[in-house]
Amino acid sequence: MPLVEMKRITKRFSGVVANSNVDFSVEYGEVHALLGENGAGKSTLMNILYGLYHPDSGEIYIDGVKRVFRSPSDAILSGVGMVHQHFMLVETQTVWENMILGMKMPFVLPKKQIIKKIAELSEKYNLKVNPLSNVWQLSIGEQQRAAVLQMLYRNAKVLILDEPTAVLTPQESKELFVTIRNMTALGHSVIFISHKMNEVMNETDRVTVLRKGETAGTVNTKSPDTSQELLSEMMMGRKVSFDINKPKRDLGKVVFDVNSICASNDRGGAALKNISFRIRKSEIFGVAGVAGNGQLELCEAIYGLRVAVSGYVKINEKDLTNASARALMDCGVHYIPADRRSTGMVTALDVKSNSILTDYWIPPISSGNSINWKEAGNQAKSIIEQFNVSTPSVNTAVKNLSGGNLQKLMLGRELSNSPEVLIVMHPTWGLDVSATRYIRERIISASETGTAVLLISEDIEELLALSDRLAIIFKGEFMGIIADPKSMPIEKIGLMMAGTHISEVL
Amino acid sequence: MLRVEKRIDASKWMNYVIPIASLFMALIGGAALLGTQGISPLDAYCRIIKAAFGGSYEFSETIVKATPIAISSFAVMLCFSMLIWNIGVEGQAFMGALAAVAAVRYCHSDNQFYMLCTAAAFAIMAGGLWAMIAGFLRSKWNVNEIISTLMLNYIAIRILEYFVYGPWRDPSSLGFPITTRFPPSARLPQLFGSRVHVGIILAVFLAFAAWYILSKTRLGYEIRVIGENPKAARYSGMSYMKNVLVVMFISGAIGGLTGMTEVTGLHGRLQASFAAKYGYTAIIVAWLSHLQPFVILLASVLFGALLVGGEALQIELGLTLSTVEILQGLVLFFVLGGDFFRNYRLKFTWRTDK
Amino acid sequence: MDTVSMILAAAVRSGTPILYATLGEILTEKVGILNLGLEGIMLMGAFSGFVVSLTSGNPWIGFAAAFIVGCLMGLIHAFLCISLNGNQVVCGLALTMFGTGLSSLLGRNYFGVAIQGLQNWNIPILSDIPIIGQVIFSQDALVYLSYILVAVMFFFLNSTRPGLNLRAVGDNPHAADAMGLPVVRIKYLYTVVGAGIVAVGGAYMSIVYNKFWAETMTAGRGWIAVAMVIFAIWNPIQAALGAYLFGGIEALQLRLQATGTSVPMAILLAMPYVITLFVLVVISIRKGNGIKAGAPASLGVPFYREERD
């Protein structure tokens, strides 16, 4: 009898099916991975197990007993705990206050006892965090440890970890996996949500693959038949080759010159330390790194959205350090941000309004102080045609477009201005395979026509497939720039992503 | 089991049905309350309608009340389009009225056109700059504009009181807090031989201007983008600060004109209580109208009618002037409730298990 | 009693209605709900408290009635803002209008009637302390109750389980939800109880402070309380200081009017608002620098669990 068993779970959001007849089970003491592409329904399924969402149909059994979870407190009482990707911690409160949130406690809080129990748990599971710190002052790694402790404090038998390594360095991830093994040795089961196949292969016992909201199957990772190829086939539904045709191009003169840029993050700490690079005409320059190592700050500092406290940015030898975003656009620098729904687009407005977002002040869209909406409509139509955007009309609100179409629309908008420099961050994050391929091809074809591309991504495959040169960023610093990324062993790139300088790697 | 789901696209007809239905529900609710007080609701409503629309004089009085409401509503609406809550139109109107009085006192001219233009210019500057304080605080340090404009209202009231109780008080007023009567050159022309003044033309003009600005101009496009998504606005190089300051200035200027038209068009002098909560009523009107300029005109007439009707109830039935505020409150309650059904769908599901 | 202690004692008395309203609003805002309807709630409290005191002859029953009426007003706000995700600003304004209008309509026949109210009760020994005794310990029972309420709320918010849960819901309802707290129920509870406390402040106006009922008698104190919450940085103890500061200015004003001094009162009267604006700016700057203090992070933001892009 498995510890957790979910049977024929179905869940819809406003008519969109997130889970359809999913079966899922976890044995005692195992590490069970839940693998799937973005949007495959992994988090939804786990939020159902945790009682946050209510399934439209299906049943949940814990220890063989059927349970209906009306809220997370029901799930917690049955021994299910979950650590979300964005930790569910109250930032303004201390760690110890967060520990006991929602638990049965005496009216007046027994602070000393709570802190003592936290100390014991920290010791037992080797999760170090200061119980008296305010959560907002902790590092991401510490916050994650606090979030895990929070669940252990509640005697969780099953611990769900939603993409826990996305915010960690490889070294921190390694520590996390030691902790996870520690927990299974002490009798807990761990569900591990991921879309990284190597982690799943190395660190888990079994894996259930979800594809478009349905179960694609469950396999034993230690079985000799299981391979990354098999898993990717299960995830995508067919064999996919990531090989992309990148023709040889002649690189021209230096277009984009960034020198010794320093900038602070939102909390006032140093986010960027002396970042320097040059990109030549037609070159694709990749930047790899674990999330949160200064990638966003780099884009913003270049693009006039964050103050660069020292250094310079030059486009075609013209100094544009700390120039406004608009000045950069007028000089042919265009930026495709990672969070397309919250930064790159105004999702409540229609396709037409969005297609002029980065050139509405330039004729013919702008005439005098007015906007020529007819011209805007034509521009939207031509982007839709050239970039295969599927939308009912130019008057459809952008929020109704799929992620892939949204990204095509945004890419089309920026490329239709034939930019000198294109800064693009996580261009294929969360997209399906065909859209991913399309976007990558368009980036390459843009570089063929002379655009210098700064490609920032967490997807190492993408970076290796597209980049001519590859920089690795760690804590706001370049660990080195690799001249020929394809010839570099991937382990060495991994070491650099963990903070080793290139000179020590070679 | 009852479940709530977000609607993907709100259906168009609900935009009209919900406000109208809310109005009816509010009238029914108000009737029930009046009924418990031994007042025949039918009688009371008839009196309101008669007092507001019963004849050309009655209707002109409704328009007199609707004028400042409409003008202030456009001030509120412009800010709302950018997701800025300008609760301070009331205070901006006070400052505008004060500036108009200052113009009359210190830049007097017998040329009516010149005098009125000077007064309007003073009012625009005073209201606009007053609102820009909140705009500046908002754009510079992200200071919550709801509270700051509210505080500025109270400060404006105190400043106004200082002048009408102090240096600007009419010596012959027997101690009443009012200023001396304006000379004829400082009176806004009245229309149709009634108390309706040129302010109504301003209101209609503003409706067209607001529609034009929001749907046709670059400023309007920027306002809408900032209102829907400030991050995207920043990304596209729009200056949040510049736009907030510009919009707050325009909004405050319109607020200032509300005050100026009221004192020069209607009262002919400044008194401490000249703008009976028009700034707050405007918030409701702008909200109810879903920021549609021409619906704002209509809703203003409706609220003007309620005010006129309230006066009738006071005189004829001995009720207090505030009684109509019950109706205003109820309308808002029902519209707020109705909006939920526009944005969300209720779904009933039956489960076999517990 | 010398003039200074008299003015200070009057400051405490005239600060008390604002203090109750501020404490109620702190409770509501701490749970993430902005209720701008204080003026209307206070008026309903003033009216119902007065009428019930008058008819029952017992001011305590009057205060209880005001509390219940306030709770009902809070329930309207809670239903529209929490269950129906209505806009909190608009709903608060609606509540103010509704309360102002309804109290005027229902109270129109009670105008000009006077009641006994509460007598001052000098606390033995403590009231003999010079100045402090007269200012703080020679007041009526509702003032003493407000002292207790300040202390209890401070302790409740910072050191108890329900207080912790309340703050968690106001700061991050999604985290609170994920930790199994009944977010909606908690929001309802404090929105309702907070409004009840606000109404007691209104009842203090009619039952104790003025001993009569008049329409719109709170004269903007509800709005002052909204500002006071920020002035106090959501801290009950600072709320008391702020309320008494405002009460002091009011007492001074009455005093100066009585003696006929013609100081530009407007400047004095505008001070609390100017100070509040200043405090608001300071808080905002600190927040911009990443320093988190007092202000509930989810204030005014509706909570809805099953939402996805």
Tens digits of residue pLDDT in A239-251: 555 567 777 788 8
For residue C230, give the CATH number of its domain: 1.10.3470
**Mutate which: A52, A88, A92, vs C, most C CBs within 10 A:** A92
Does C181 sit within 8 Å of A102, measured CB to CB?
yes
A249 in any annotated domain? no
Question: Rounded mean pLDDT of A486-500?
Answer: 81
pLDDT of residue C306: 57
Tens of pLDDT, residue by residue over C67-89, are 999 999 999 999 999 988 888 88
Question: Rounded mean pLDDT of C186-206?
Answer: 96
What is the average pLDDT score of chain A? 88
To which residue do tokens 């240096």 refer?
Answer: B167
Residues B19, A402: Cα–Cα separation, whole Å: 33
pLDDT of residue A242: 55
Residues B346, B244: Cα–Cα separation, whole Å: 37
- Chain C's closest residue to B283, CA to CA, is C90
E strand spans, A144-283 = 158-162, 189-194, 206-211, 214-220, 254-264, 270-280
Of C100, C280, C285, the CB nearest to B325: C100
Does A266 sit within 8 Å of C290, measured CB to CB?
yes
pLDDT of residue B352: 42
Which residue, A98, A235, A85, A195, is CA-closest to A154? A98
For residue A382, give the CATH number of its domain: 3.40.50.300
Are residues A305 and A165 located together in one domain of the fold?
A: no
Taking contacts as CB-CB distances below 8 angstroms, the residues of chain B near A14 are: 5-8
Instruction: Judge contact between A84 and C175, C-beta under 8 A.
Output: no
- Choose the final residue of a domain: A184, A204, A236: A236
SS3 A176: helix
To which residue do tokens 């989810």 refer?
Answer: C298
Does B9 sit within 8 Å of A400, measured CB to CB?
yes
* Least confident piece of the model among A25-29, A129-133, A218-222, A496-500: A496-500
User: Range of A168's domain?
Assistant: 4-236
Per the structure, the count of domains in chain A is 2
Instruction: List all residues of chain C from 148 to 207 with a beta carbon under 8 Å from chain A.
Output: 159-162, 164-165, 167-168, 171-172, 174-182
CA distance B207 to chain A (A): 18
CA distance B109 to chain C (A): 30
Count of residues making up chain B: 354
pLDDT of residue A495: 81
pLDDT of residue B351: 47
CA A29 to chain centroid: 29
Which residue, C148, C156, C224, C220, is CA-closest to C190? C156
Taking contacts as CB-CB distances below 8 angstroms, the residues of chain C near A89 are: 172, 175
A385 in any annotated domain? yes
Does C266 sit within 8 Å of B161, measured CB to CB?
yes
Taking contacts as CB-CB distances below 8 angstroms, the residues of chain B near A370 are: 216-218
Q: Hey, which residues does A193 pair with through a beta bridge?
A: A34, A162
Are residues A329 and A464 located together in one domain of the fold?
A: yes
Does C99 sit within 8 Å of B329, measured CB to CB?
yes
Taking contacts as CB-CB distances below 8 angstroms, the residues of chain A near B221 are: 353, 356, 360, 371
Are residues A10 and A94 located together in one domain of the fold?
A: yes
Question: Taking 50 as the threshold, does the pLDDT of residue A327 lie above it?
Answer: yes
**Mutate which: C105, C275, C278, C284, vs B, most B CBs within 10 A:** C105
Tens of pLDDT, residue by residue over C8-17, are 888 999 999 9
CA distance A260 to chain C (A): 25
CA distance C156 to chain B (A): 27
To which residue do tokens 């729009």 refer?
Answer: B238
Q: Hey, which residues does A12 pair with through a beta bridge?
A: A17
Q: Using 50, 70 and 90 to split pLDDT, how confident is the model at A233?
A: confident
Tens of pLDDT, residue by residue over A393-449, are 888 888 888 788 889 999 999 998 889 999 999 888 777 777 888 899 999 999 999
Residues above pLDDT 90, as percent of chain A: 44
To which residue do tokens 């006066």 refer?
Answer: B311
Of B221, B231, B353, the CB nearest to A343: B231
Say if strands A189-194 and A31-35 run parallel, antiparallel, or are unpaired.
Answer: parallel
Question: Under 8 Å CB-to-CB from C57, ≥6 apart: which residues?
Answer: none
User: Hey, is the C-beta of B316 within 8 angstroms of any chain A C-beta?
Assistant: no
A186 in any annotated domain? yes
To which residue do tokens 């003592």 refer?
Answer: A116
CA distance B353 to chain A (A): 8
Question: Taking 80 as the threshold, does the pLDDT of residue A170 lie above it?
Answer: no
Read off the DSSP letter of residue C127: G
Taking contacts as CB-CB distances below 8 angstroms, the residues of chain A near B239 are: 324
Are residues A119 and A194 located together in one domain of the fold?
A: yes
Of C93, C102, C270, the CB nearest to B33: C102
User: Range of C119's domain?
Assistant: 3-288
- Choose the final residue of a domain: A182, A207, A236: A236
Residues A167, A174: Cα–Cα separation, whole Å: 13
Give mean pLDDT in consecutive 10-residue pieces for chain B, a chain of 354 residues: 60 74 86 85 88 88 93 93 89 94 89 92 96 92 86 88 83 78 82 82 94 92 91 89 93 95 86 76 87 90 89 83 84 85 66 41
Does B284 sit within 8 Å of C101, measured CB to CB?
no
Q: How many CA atoms lie within 13 A of C53 on its CB side?
A: 30
- Chain B: touching chains (3 or more CB pairs < 8 Å): A, C
To which residue do tokens 């529900």 refer?
Answer: B25
- Chain A's closest residue to C180, CA to CA, is A73
SS3 A472: strand
User: Hey, is the C-beta of C288 within 8 angstroms of any chain A C-beta?
Assistant: no
Does A89 sit within 8 Å of C172, measured CB to CB?
yes
Question: Taking 60 as the threshold, does the pLDDT of residue A234 lie above it?
Answer: yes
Question: Taking 80 as the threshold, does the pLDDT of residue A169 lie above it?
Answer: no
Are residues A188 and A312 located together in one domain of the fold?
A: no
CA C272 to chain centroid: 16
pLDDT of residue C183: 92
Taking contacts as CB-CB distances below 8 angstroms, the residues of chain A near C161 are: 100, 105-109
Query: Per-residue DSSP letters for B197-250?
Result: BTHHHHHHHHHHHHHHHHHHBHHHHHHHHHHH-HHHHHHTT--HHHHHHHHHHH
Per the structure, the count of domains in chain C is 1
Of A13, A327, A370, the CB nearest to B218: A370
pLDDT of residue B5: 65
Taking the CA atoms of chain A, what radius of gyration do you get in angstroms? Answer: 24
Taking contacts as CB-CB distances below 8 angstroms, the residues of chain C near A72 are: 177-180
Residue A281 is inside which H or E element, if any? none
Q: Using 50, 70 and 90 to split pLDDT, how confident is the model at A117?
A: very high
CA distance B143 to chain A (A): 18
CA distance C68 to chain B (A): 19
Q: Using 50, 70 and 90 to split pLDDT, how confident is the model at A226?
A: confident
Question: Taking 80 as the threshold, does the pLDDT of residue C253 lie above it?
Answer: no
Does C289 sit within 8 Å of A107, measured CB to CB?
no
Question: Rounded mean pLDDT of A310-332?
Answer: 91
CB pairs under 8 A between A and B: 80
Residues above pLDDT 70, as percent of chain C: 92
Residue C72 is inside which H or E element, if any? helix C59-78
Are residues A45 and A81 located together in one domain of the fold?
A: yes
Does C164 sit within 8 Å of A71, measured CB to CB?
no
Instruction: List all residues of chain A from 222 to 281 with a beta carbon under 8 Å from chain C.
Output: 266-268
Instruction: List all residues of chain B from 25 to 84 with a beta carbon under 8 Å from chain A.
Output: none
Question: Rounded mean pLDDT of A71-88?
Answer: 90
C36 in any annotated domain? yes
More confident residue, C166 or B350: C166
**Mutate which: A71, A345, A371, vs B, most B CBs within 10 A:** A371
CA C224 to chain centroid: 9
pLDDT of residue C309: 37
CB pairs under 8 A between A and C: 93
Residues C48, C205: Cα–Cα separation, whole Å: 12
Q: What is the complex's ipTM, to 2 decimals?
A: 0.86
Q: Using 50, 70 and 90 to split pLDDT, how confident is the model at C114?
A: confident
Question: Taking 80 as the threshold, does the pLDDT of residue A194 lie above it?
Answer: yes
pLDDT of residue A103: 86
Question: Under 8 Å CB-to-CB from A52, ≥6 apart: which residues?
Answer: A71, A72, C177, C178, C305
Residues A489, A31: Cα–Cα separation, whole Å: 29
Does B237 sit within 8 Å of A353, measured CB to CB?
no
Tens of pLDDT, residue by residue over B25-42, are 888 988 888 888 888 888
CA distance C46 to chain B (A): 16
CA distance C178 to chain A (A): 6
Of A18, A109, A341, the CB nearest to C160: A109
Are residues A176 and A279 located together in one domain of the fold?
A: no
Tens of pLDDT, residue by residue over B319-341, are 877 788 888 899 889 888 887 77
Residues B152, B126: Cα–Cα separation, whole Å: 13
Joined tokens for residue A445: 């074809």
C305 in any annotated domain? no
Q: What's the whole-model pTM score?
A: 0.84
